[in-house]
Amino acid sequence: MGIISPAERLLAAADLHEPVETGLLTVDLSAIAANWRKVAGLAGGAECGAVVKADGYGLGQAAVMRALAGVGCKTFFVANLLEGETARALAPDAAIYVLDGVVPGCAPRLAAADLRPCIGSFAELEEWAAAGATLGRKLAAALHFDTGMHRLGFPPRAAGEVAARAHGIAPTLVMSHFLSSQLPDDPVNARQIGDFLAVRAHFPGIAGSIANSSGVFLPQKPHFDLVRPGYALYGGNPTPGVANPMRAAARLSARIVSTRDLGPGDTVGYDGVWKAPRPSRVATIGAGYADGLPVSATAAPGKPAGEAVVGGVRCPFIGRVSMDYIVLDVTDAPKVAAERGQWVELLGETIDVEELALRARTIGYEVLTRLGRRYARRYVG
């Protein structure tokens, strides 16, 4: 028998299922599927699609689309051509809409991947019709109308002209986008619904869609023919101000890489923004803003700091959130849970995406979509 080196002994003893990364993102695909079913049930007779842009809101476009297709989703929305090409490879038979519309020069690739651009200008309309003429067929597309976002889309007053000039394409959807659907009492919602109804009158027989996640929950039930939830599918709250009706889909943990004891007056992190008010024990975790944790979660006068759960105890971020590390005050946490190598919760059963966003003075959408690629990822359910 040969001599076994110390390195070989360590490798033999290692748990190969334990992530070597210092951050772990666990995505619950069954929760995403359940959230889609819930929204589909609320939509009545309308079809329920899914917005899977930004890498499935940061949780992985491929895994998310497979899970949604598995429960019956047949229509997907992405932001741009590249996301659309990826979606087409994942869902060969699905209807896939590209929210960017027809970016100059992209028409041939959009058509080759059988993607449906959301057209919001006459220039796009002409380019898409020309691409179809080259191919000898009319190409499918959505017609996007701007009822208040002032971002993308035809003005509602142009609906008649759009209808007259759309003869060179095959419209499959007329759509708009709410700007305040998360505020059910905002009168702008009713005004947008009225404008959209007026637009739709110019396109008989073509499906209509205006409801995003929060729009599905509006009292007017503006579901029309297709709803297109995004944030709610991934566990975000589509009804701010009341309990979240959706299941959490993401859990984020980070590993403690270092601990130390501080005396009163010792500072932590860049610029010494935190000073120990008492003898303190602190722990450094291997995650930072390069991993999508907002630097704005740093503690500051007048705002709450981000927190992690260590052995069941909430422990605040102290010092600045830096690129690769966050320091926690673990003085009050169980010592056994606050040792090097232990895992702490940043997002999960105790701290949901809405709370993390609130403590960082941002929105849950940003928290999810910025989740970094350095995490080990595990898909469950």
DSSP string, 219-246: TT---TTEE---GGGGT--SSTTS---S
The amino acid present at 327, given as its one-letter code, is V
CATH number of this structure's domain 250-380: 2.40.37.10
* Gap between the Cα atoms of 303 and 210, Å rounded: 36
* Gap between the Cα atoms of 260 and 269, Å rounded: 13
CATH number of this structure's domain 43-234: 3.20.20.10
The pLDDT of residue 162 is above 70: yes
pLDDT at 7: 47
Q: Quickly count helices (H) and strands (E) in the chain.
A: 12, 19
pLDDT at 10: 43
The pair of structure tokens assigned to 155 is 């003005």
Closest of 61, 62, 63 to residue 30, by C-alpha: 63
pLDDT (tens digit, 9 = 90+) per residue, 254-275? 999 999 999 999 999 999 889 9
pLDDT at 89: 97
Locate the domains of the chain by residue range.
Answer: 43-234, 250-380
pLDDT at 370: 94
pLDDT (tens digit, 9 = 90+) per residue, 200-241? 999 999 999 999 999 999 999 999 999 999 999 999 999 998
Q: Output the CA angle 122-224-245, nearest 5 degrees.
A: 115
- Tell me the average pLDDT across 249-253: 96
Percentage of the chain exceeding pLDDT 90: 90
pLDDT at 225: 98
The residues annotated as belonging to the active site are: 53, 270
The pair of structure tokens assigned to 173 is 């959807």
pLDDT at 243: 93
The pair of structure tokens assigned to 69 is 């297709």
pLDDT at 161: 98
pLDDT (tens digit, 9 = 90+) per residue, 63-110? 999 999 999 999 999 999 999 999 999 999 999 999 999 999 999 999
- Tell me the average pLDDT across 356-376: 93
- Tell me the average pLDDT across 9-19: 53
pLDDT at 14: 45
* pTM (two decimals): 0.92
pLDDT at 3: 59
Q: Please check whether residue 313 is in contact with residue 332, taking contact to mean a CB–CB distance below 8 angstroms.
A: yes
What band does 300 get if pLDDT is binned at 50, 70 and 90? confident
